[in-house]
Structure 1
């Protein structure tokens, strides 16, 4: 591992989980540009093999996950279009790499997830919310349109009609309703951050190559024919059967014991 964590002091790695804060309590949990840059650097390093992590956890450092972009900063910019374009590019650097990581991604959607914060929440493999979770598109409220992939991911999660109604209507949605619709994958009555952390740690101890294959297959299924996708599934399951985790999983099942993934 060659990654220098001193260059990204907000980022941490423990129990195989790479934790990425995206908002700071001191800034009202608005999207923090420095935090986004640090997260982007860490995720790029993960993809490049410069650090080893078996799961990613995205959090807000405060009572809310992320309240969206810094609107006061938008208003103060000399050139608003250029300022917002630059911020979107910085966010999208993170979103592109986060979309491509092979390990599971978990978001701890505590409190509000609005605007770009909701876009990030939607990018996870597992999004954890609770009774205090509130989701809001936010963009129409300031006369803008989505960034961070919201207009791409949300229609795939809940359907185009529901996505249009949610974004254009710009009404808050409860965590319970979001979970029922499929905008959140996990709902807990307990502490959202603790639940998300425990989930990330559990995933980090699982079969990483199996997870990577699942993510790859689901992504490629969007454009593949059914017949071609069956071939891809055949090749994938055959390949995994000879990997350390594949061998361990099958042998543990036959021996009627818990598998010990990631040991080799």
Structure 2
């Protein structure tokens, strides 16, 4: 069964979670297909992750057979969720979460794993884990406090209340919330902008920013210098400078 759909056009790979009847809840099959599709999407220039129907992703499918009875949660997270999240965070291309509706539980943290989160105004984010006696997973305990601070992260996790897209934007949890009637156009424009950009520089800046909270200034300065040396030797840098001097749009090739 196809738990996702994949479309590629103009350097943009769009991956759509395709279980709208259960608000795109994550079962084993979907997680496996999504991880494979994310890795395959690295061959493009940008990945857009979204959901079919009225939801982005409602999190773990509690009706999934593996969720009933005794479950080795540690093994499921290690073997299925961790590879899925790493396929996003370690992707050499920008990954956009186009949050078209509710993003709950692991679905919320799937979105927060992405490099850029764009949400429709009607969307919401819910750290729903405490409602069933669990803690945030799928990277939530890392992503959330880094984006919104400890107090808001604690409140979101302890109270398990919906956070509106506009509030998420104000908190710095996401990049932007846009009116529903403009959502598709804004996502398409952002994806096209990134697909036309210097992909080598994007990969380098992702590496630098993703590790920024985990190392000291001296280490970060050394990493910046090394990565900037690579970027400075690229054809895209030469093209960017030439385009600036010639007052035209650069034509980046990713080399």
TM-score between the two structures when normalised by the length of structure 1: 0.87
After superposition, give the CA deviation of every residue in 1:115-146 in whole Å (9 maximum; x if it has no partner).
01101111111101132011111111112222
1:43 corresponds to: 38
The aligned residue for residue 92 of structure 2 is 102
Aligned pair partner of 2:210 in 216, 219, 222? 219
- Are 1:129 and 2:119 counterparts? yes
Pair 1:259 & 2:254 matched: no
Q: Which of 159, 172, 189 is matched with 1:169 structurally?
A: 159
Of the candidates 107, 117, 120, which is equivalent to residue 117 of structure 1? 107
Corresponding residue of 2:137: 147
1:187: Cα distance to partner? 1.7
In structure 2, the residue matched to 1:16 is 11
Whole-angstrom CA distance in 1 between matches of 2:58 and 2:65: 14
Shift of 1:197: 3.0
Alpha-carbon distance, 1:161 to partner: 1.9
Partner of 1:56: 47
Q: Provide Cα deviations, 1:157-192, integer angstroms capped at 9, x if missing partner.
A: 111221111111111111111100011111212443
Q: Which segment is superposed worse, 109-118 or 195-204?
A: 195-204
Give the paired residue count.
Answer: 253
Shift of 1:41: 1.0
Q: Which runs of 5+ in 1 are unaligned?
A: 1-6
Deviations 1:23-65 (A, max 9, x none): 5212333224323211211233455xxxx21111111111110
In structure 2, do the counterparts of structure 1 residues 122 and 76 end up closer, same or farther at CA, with 3 Å as the change threshold?
closer
The aligned counterpart of 1:3 is none
Report whether the alignment pairs 1:72 with 2:67. Answer: no
Q: In the alignment, what sits opposite 1:26?
A: 21
Q: Deviations over 1:86-142 (max 9, x none)?
A: 366312211012111111110011110100110111111110113201111111111
Q: 1:246 to 1:76 in 2, by over 3 A?
A: closer
Q: Which has the larger displacement, 195-204 or 66-75?
A: 66-75
Is contact 1:31–1:66 with CA below 8 Å preserved after alignment? Answer: yes
How far apart are residue 78 of structure 1 and its match?
A: 4.2
Matching of residues 173-184 of structure 1 within 5 Å: 173-184=163-174
* Counterpart for residue 4 of structure 1: none
SS of 2:30's partner is helix
Offset, 1:224 = 3.1
Within 1, Cα distance between the matches of 2:23 and 2:36? Answer: 23
- Shifted more, 30-39 versus 64-73: the winner is 30-39
Mean Cα deviation higher: 97-106 or 186-195: 186-195
Q: Is the 8 A contact 1:24 1:32 kept in 2?
A: no
C-alpha separation in 1, matches of 2:222 and 2:80: 37
| Unpaired segments ≥5 residues, structure 2 | none
What is the CA RMSD across the aligned residues, in angstroms?
2.4
